[in-house]
Amino acid sequence: MLWIIGHILAVSIGLSLGLIGGGGSVLAAPALIYIMGVPTKTALAMTLVIVGVASLIGVIPHWMQKNVNFQTVTFFAPPAMLGAYLGARIAAFPFVTSTIQLVAFALMMLIASISMIRKDARTAKPQLNATSQHKFRGLAIALEGLGVGIITGFVGIGGGFLVIPALVLLGKTSMKEAVGTSLVILALKSVTGFIGYLDQVTINWNLLFSFTIAASAGILIGAYLTRFVPAKNLEKGFGYFVLAVAIFILIQR
């Protein structure tokens, strides 16, 4: 029964990524830890693979709909990939316990939930003038990518709730394009983050494979449903769910 529940949540991981471009990690890690009984550090490493592969598959329908900006990817992805590897290596320090990582994970979930609930901030316009935008936009995107990457590597959160606003505000992309573009970035930085964990954990490859397949199916369904279901109608409700899970994790710890 727990196996079935866990894999239903795995499908939900993909649905979340496909519909709103984020939220997959906040479902994956708790499902692996609390339902499948995977150790915390291992679960965070596995989350990177599950979300990364699902994101890569999810790029396909977004690319076919011309909702991927590869020029923005070239600015954001390299520093994000470096940051993800650094974050994973920081997690290897002896003083970084599973409790520290889970508390950090829950705190990031709280931030993510607020971002989703207060969705108007996602569509706000930047206040910089055109000259300032042109001069500093590339640097700002790179720094944002590095910071989000470190968070990804350390707590296993893909950071779509941080990437998408950065793409909208700094990359000057539309919301739909930001969702598709964020999936490419999530996939790329998940690779380097997982590499950073390889010498720290023992992976249950069968579980990783089955969860990844389920999440990949979910993201294809979610990407298809974006044609009929506006993401803004789902994001606020999902934000409250994320908030509840974050509070649960903090209480547990």
pLDDT digits (tens, 9 = 90+) for 142-194: 888 898 899 889 988 766 677 877 787 776 777 778 878 888 998 999 999 99
State residue 150's pLDDT score. 93
Q: How far apart are CA 31 and CA 5, in angstroms?
A: 9
Which stretch of 15-19, 123-127, 239-243 has the lowest confidence by average pLDDT? 123-127
Q: How far apart are CA 147 and CA 163, in angstroms?
A: 10
Q: How many helices (H) and strands (E) does the chain have?
A: 10, 0
pTM for the full predicted model: 0.82
Q: How far apart are CA 148 and CA 37, in angstroms?
A: 27
Pick 197 or 109 by higher pLDDT: 197
Average pLDDT value over all residues in the chain? 82
C-alpha distance across the termini of the chain, in Å: 25
pLDDT above 50: residue 95: yes
Q: Please work out, in degrees rounded to the nearest 5, the angle formed at the alpha carbon of residue 191 by the alpha carbons of 231 and 159.
A: 35
Q: How far apart are CA 65 and CA 177, in angstroms?
A: 9
State residue 65's pLDDT score. 82
Distant-in-sequence, close-in-space partners of 120: CB < 8 Å, separation ≥ 6:
none
Identity of the amino acid at 143: L
Identity of the amino acid at 36: M
Our count of domains for the chain comes to 1
Q: At 23, is the pLDDT very low, low, confident or very high (cuts 50, 70, 90)?
A: low
What is the domain range of residue 165?
Answer: 2-252
Return the closest-CA partner of residue 183 out of 89, 68, 29, 33. 68
- Tokens representing residue 186 in the block: 């999530």
